[in-house]
Structure formats: structure tokens, C-alpha cells
Amino acid sequence: MYQGELNFDGLIGPTHNYSGLSEGNIASSKNSKKTSNPKKAALQGLKKMKLLIEMGIPQGIFLPHERPSLSFLRTQGFSGSDADIVGSAAKISSLLLNQSYSASSMWAANAATFSPSVDCQDAIAHITPANLFSMQHRRIEANFTYQQLNLIFKSSHFKIHKPIESTDLMSDEGAANHLRITNSHLKRGIHVFVYGRDTSKESLNFVARQSRAASEYIANSHKLDMKQTFFLKQNMKAINRGSFHNDIVSLATENVFIFHEEAFEDSKHKIQKIKNSLKVQENNFFIEISKNDIPLDILVNSYLLNSQLVRNSSGDMTFIMPTEVNNYSECKEWLKWVKENTPIKDFKYVDIKQSMMNGGGPACLRFKIVVNKDEFNNINPNFLLNPDLIKKLEALINNSYRDNLEIKDLSDPELINESYTILDNLTQIFKTGSIYSFQKE
């Protein structure tokens, strides 16, 4: 019997590559067209999941989406056999081909937004899959995410909403733009939704992905107490410097809320309103990182705040960070202060370079939920990691994933067969039946 925080990570799929599809994502652009290593990527992600289990926190897993998405290419006018479709796309539009092969569902922080039952007026946990409208290669994820969530979470204890209808004004990017602050996971908390734009038009160098309208829709449909729900606008400077999601410049776990000085517009006033809403104020840690201590560019490049902050068995907090943080003296100096002045006493570093090269740190890879004992028992156990499942996944990855994948390889018909064979094997391991379209043809 378990209650508390639970993370679901996306298993990195066999078509993990660097196509540079993500506008506003500096790492994605910087590493565009480089050779990826899908095998190493998947093993790195799995190793991070194992770390959470070792800390006593149950770990769930999402299956990769079907890639290449031939159904997407068919909607773009391509037809014929699988090989014909990929071959035609390679000749006519490499962009569409690359979008169909994207393994971006690995970043589970964008899968959905979650509200625990203790905060919802109907006492039911709510989950809304993100429509990911702002990026075409991610927009095609929403329907399968919805299907998979329904496989994992029983409807008797979880309300799975359909993704918000995709429009420019209702762009939703999931939990990467949502924070929850509470004295304890299982006690009522306050919700902070962070958005990039109020309207469909904003003057930015990069796309402001999350809309206020989508955030408000989710808060209302999840039946949250609006007196305990806040909406903060991203600082335009942060977006233009590469904070394409809010979870690059702020994070929150239980009574700890960390944010950069330039993370939000009208920051001091809005943060004070949130502080005032807390019934018990003295036990909360609102930690603002000064731009003089860590400049915004260094924060974005290091992915310091795109880390997992978890409560460990000793009652203190553990900060799980990418190894890249060690490259920045400013981050290391700030961490010394954190250890001396906050409940965060333990630091762990994870090597997830394959994900980081595409702009995803530890927090990007996971979808965090909070459950009571009854809800935990109504999660499909086939999607919860255990030693036997880990061994099966490691064997499949080591035996079937490629060591190297270049962008030109996406036009190789053999990659279609390799990917689909791996996905078919995964459905057998997870006992899901035929959930991919190629299995139903």
C-alpha cells in the first residue's frame, strides 16, 4: 500500500533523433542533425527511473508512441505501402518525415496536467492530456496519450478528460507549465498555472506555447478551488532566452517553490499573493534565484530547475539534477547556499545527455501525480516498474535499439520494421493487446 508522489516517465523510443523541430528550444536547435544514440538514450532514461525506485518512490512508465506515424503522413497526402509513404515524404518534405519520426513523447511532463483528488471539489483526481498545439510534431501525440492514460488509470478513481480542442487560443503544453504548493502531498494545496500569452498574438522571437485560456479551462474542468488557484504569466525575456516551458525557470514540490527572478511578469506582486493564500506561511520556502547569482542564460543552459525535487525517506528533500549543472560555477555556489538554508539536503546527478541534447532534463522526462492508497491500487500495475520489468526492458533495448541514428536514416524502410517490431514486443511485455494502428491493420 502506497500513498504520495508517483512519477510516470516516458520510455524513450527507438526513433530518438535530433531533427531540430522544436522552435525556441536552444538545445534542439544547437544539436540539430547530429547523430543520436537511441539505445543509450533509453537506458539513460531507465536508469533515472531506477534511481527513484531506490529512493522508495514508485515509478510508472508510458510506452512510446507509434513512430513513424504513417497515419500523420497519410493526412498530408502520402499514400501507398509503408515504404512508399516514407520514400515519398523523404523526397518531397523532409520536415514532414522528421515530424512523423519524432520521439518527443519521451518528455512526459508535456503528456497531461494532473490535479489530485484532495484539491478537487468532486474528490476525484483529474487528468487532461495536453493538445500540444504549438508544435506539429507534438500535436500528433494527444490522441494516443489519451488512450494510454485510460489504459493506466481506472475510471472509477480518475477522471480522464479528452484533450482540449486544438486552436491557437487554446494551446496546452501540460504539467510543464503547472505547479502545486502544499505542506504535504496528501493535504490540500494551491495550484499555479503558468502561461505565455493571453491572446493568439504576442510579440515574441519564439512561440509562447501555453495560453491562459487553456490553463483556465483546465483549472475549471478539474473543479479546483479558484480561490486557491493562480495564473502567472511567463516573463517574455525568459521565453526569448529559451524557457519554452515554465519548468526550465521554476519548480515546486510540497512546501518548496523555487523560481528565477526573471521567470514571471510582475513577479513580486504575484508571488506575494500566493504567499498570502497559504494558511501556514512560516513553514514554506519561497526561494527566488537572483539574476546576479545565476543569470537567466546560465539557468536555461544548465537546466538547473528542470530537475526533480523529491521528499526522501529521511524527511529531507533530494534534488535530482542533470550532470551538466556541474559545468557552471554559479549553479554550484547557489547549491551550497540551498543545502545550508533549505530542506534540500541531498543532491544526485543523472547522466541523461541524450535527452538534454534535445532540450529535456530530468523534470521533462516525468509526469508527476499524487495519489492516496485507494487511488494507487487503481493504477494498472503493468505500468509500474519492478525488477522483472526493468530486466525485460533493458534486454529489449540492448538487443533491438540502434546505437546510432542519423537524420538520413529516417528514410530507411528498415527503420519502420525495426520500430514497429520493438513496439509490438512492448505491448506483449506490458500486456496491453493491440494498441498501435499497425497492429490493427
**In 3D, which of 62, 181, 60 has the Cα closest to residue 119?**
181
User: Across the beta sheet with 250-253, what order do the strands follow?
Assistant: 250-253, 256-260, 285-289
Lowest mean pLDDT among 5-14, 22-31, 149-158, 350-359: 22-31
Which residues fall within 8 angstroms of residue 251, CB to CB, at 6 or more apart? 179, 257, 258, 259, 305, 306, 307, 309, 363
Give yes or no for residue 440 having a pLDDT over 60.
yes
364 catalytic? Reply is: yes
Per-residue confidence (pLDDT) for residue 206, from 0 to 100: 63
Q: What residues make up the domain containing 385?
A: 4-67+102-440
Asked whether residue 79 is assigned to any structural domain, the reply reads no
C-alpha cell at 254: 510540497
90 belongs to a structural domain: no
- The x, y and z cell numbers of residue 130, run together, are 495536453
What is the layout of strands, in order, in the sheet containing 190-195?
178-181, 190-195, 229-233
For residue 362, what are the CA distances in angstroms to 165, 350, 351?
A: 29, 8, 9
Q: Which pLDDT score is estimated for 325? A: 98
* 94 occurs within a structural domain: no
Domain with residue 25: its CATH number is: 3.75.10.20
Contacts with 268 (C-beta within 8 Å, 6 or more apart), sequence order: none
Grid cell locating 157: 478513481
Residue 10 domain-assigned?
Answer: yes
Which cell goes with 306?
Answer: 528542470
> Does residue 436 belong to any structural domain of this protein?
yes
Residue 7's DSSP bridge partners are 59, 368
Higher pLDDT, 200 or 404: 404
Average model confidence (pLDDT) across the chain: 93
323 grid coordinates: 550532470
- Domains: count for the chain: 1
> What DSSP designation does 62 have?
E
Specify the DSSP element, H or E, that contains 127: strand 125-129
| H or E element, residue 18 | none
Instruction: Return the pLDDT at 306.
Output: 96
pLDDT in tens, 184-225: 999 999 999 999 888 655 555 567 789 999 999 999 999 999
CA angle 194, 196, 200 (to 5 degrees): 130
pLDDT digit string (tens) for 275-333?
Answer: 888 876 668 899 999 999 999 999 999 999 999 999 988 888 999 999 999 999 999 99
CA distance 344 to 319: 7
Q: d(Cα 232, Cα 295) in Å, to the nearest integer?
A: 21
pLDDT tier at 15, thresholds 50, 70, 90: very high
Task: Examine residue 85 and state whether it is found in any structural domain, yes or no.
Answer: no
Q: Alpha-carbon Rg of the chain, whole angstroms?
A: 21
Instruction: Specify the pLDDT at position 32.
Output: 79
pLDDT at 397 over 90: yes
Residue 410 pLDDT exceeds 90 = yes
Catalytic position from the list 5, 173, 262, 375: 173
Looking at residue 268, what is its pLDDT? 84
Residues 416-423 have a mean pLDDT of 98
Copy the grid coordinates of residue 96: 514532414
- Known active-site residue 120: no
Phi first, then psi, for residue 255 (nearest 5°) are: -95, 15
Q: What is the pLDDT of residues 64-96, one digit of tens each?
A: 999 999 999 999 999 999 999 999 999 999 999
**Angle, helices 387-400/38-54, rounded to nearest 10 degrees:** 170
Q: Which of 65, 126, 191, 245 is catalytic?
A: 245
Q: Is 404 exposed, middle or buried (0-12, 13-18, 19+ CB in 10 A)?
A: exposed
Tell me the one-letter amino acid at 294. Answer: I
Distant-in-sequence, close-in-space partners of 86: CB < 8 Å, separation ≥ 6:
68, 70, 73, 97, 410, 411, 413, 416
The answer to whether residue 97 sits within a structural domain is no
Known active-site residue 126: no
Q: What angle do CA 418, 424, 428 make, to 5 degrees?
A: 145
Q: Which cell numbers hold the place of 124?
A: 476525484
Other Cβ atoms closer than 10 A to 49: 22
Confirm if 206 and 164 have CB atoms less than 8 A apart.
no
Task: Classify residue 122: in a domain, yes or no.
Answer: yes
Please, are residues 31 and 396 in contact by the beta-carbon 8 Å criterion?
A: no
- Cα 297–322–106 angle (5° rounding)? 100
The band of 176, judged by pLDDT with boundaries at 50, 70 and 90, is very high
260 burial (CB, 10 Å; 0-12 / 13-18 / 19+) is buried
Map grid coordinates 478551488 to a residue: 225
Say what the pLDDT of residue 331 is: 98
Q: What's the pLDDT at 281?
A: 63
Query: CA 207, CA 413: separation in Å to the nearest integer?
Result: 34
Of how many residues is the chain composed?
441
Q: Cα–Cα distance between 24 and 210 in angstroms, integer? A: 13
Which range among 44-48, 202-206, 223-227, 232-236 shows the weakest confidence by mean pLDDT?
A: 202-206
Torsion of CA 113, 6, 320, 295, to 10 degrees: 20
Whether the per-residue pLDDT at 137 is higher than 60: the answer is: yes
**Amino acid identity, residue 130?**
A
